Amino acid sequence: MFFIVDDILTVADLRRAQTLIGQAKFVDGLVTAAGPGKRLKANVEMEVSERYLSLVELLDRAIESSDELGMRLFPRFRTNPIVNRYDVGMFYDVHVDAPIQGGTTQFGRASGRFGQNFIRTDYSMTLFLSDPSTYDGGELELRLHGEAKRIKLRAGSAVCYSTGIPHCVHTVTKGTRIAAIYWFQSLIRDVQVRSVIWEQYLLERQLRTAGLEEHAQKAATIRSNLIRYMAEL
């Protein structure tokens, strides 16, 4: 249902990202809220500008370089990020993200990747961009089978979770919390199949580490055939 990927951004990339964010203009976060969301949300979001585009390019490179994200998400499409900022007193109450992103639909309006029409939101990702020691509150809370899981990661790390999970951002009580929010449509729609492929990939790596290359190659062939059978293009 969710997983964490540490240190997607290098130290240098994180420093550059924070510089771009520090120079950017932010606008009321209600511009990307629709319907009931307008009553739940109090934050600001990075305005689309040259600095925003430079930040997107930097973050995209890091995401596309992550083998773990690639093997666990199997992304076909992703949105451009909403880079949001929560200052003291800001929050996002419990909600579920829209099932479709990329334009105006019956489910509301949201930002899509440039030149892209609509995507089905299989996964949401919060990429933390603020050092957790610089702010209090601001935890991302996932509501999982009646239990609340609070997540606050070091800058440059991300949590990915099935988009249908109810979640919220707790009120920031000190400092500022900044994160980039992405949505992904996967080539493999079924979350259980994605999980099986990931476990198989880990087994393949373990076989290689143990020097069992022939067995690892057989495992890789099975994984490739499973992906070919299950992928939606």
- pLDDT at site 101: 83
- Could you tell me if 35 and 124 lie in one domain? yes
- Could you tell me if 46 and 106 lie in one domain? yes
- Could you tell me if 22 and 62 lie in one domain? yes
Check whether 58 has a pLDDT greater than 50: yes
- Could you tell me if 182 and 211 lie in one domain? no
Q: What is the pLDDT of residues 112-151, one digit of tens each?
A: 444 446 889 999 999 999 999 999 999 999 999 889 999 9
- Could you tell me if 106 and 214 lie in one domain? no
Looking at the 3D structure of the chain, how many domains does it have? 2
Of 170, 186, 202, the one marking the end of a domain is 186
Identify the CATH number of the domain in which residue 150 sits: 2.60.120.620
- Could you tell me if 127 and 226 lie in one domain? no
Percent of the chain beyond pLDDT 70?
Answer: 91
- pLDDT at site 39: 73
Q: What is the pLDDT of residues 149-186, one digit of tens each?
A: 999 999 999 999 999 999 999 999 999 999 999 999 99
- Domain ranges, residue 211: 191-230
H/E/C letters for each residue in the chain? Answer: CEEEECCCCCHHHHHHHHHHHHHCCEEEHHHHCCCCHHHHEECEEECCCHHHHHHHHHHHHHHHCCHHHHHHHCEEEECCCEEEEECCCCEEEEECCCCEECCEECCEECCCCCCCCCEECCEEEEEECCCHHHCEECCEEEEECCEEEEECCCCCCEEEEECCCCEEECCEEECCEEEEEEEEEECCCCHHHHHHHHHHHHHHHHHHHCCCHHHHHHHHHHHHHHHHHHCCC
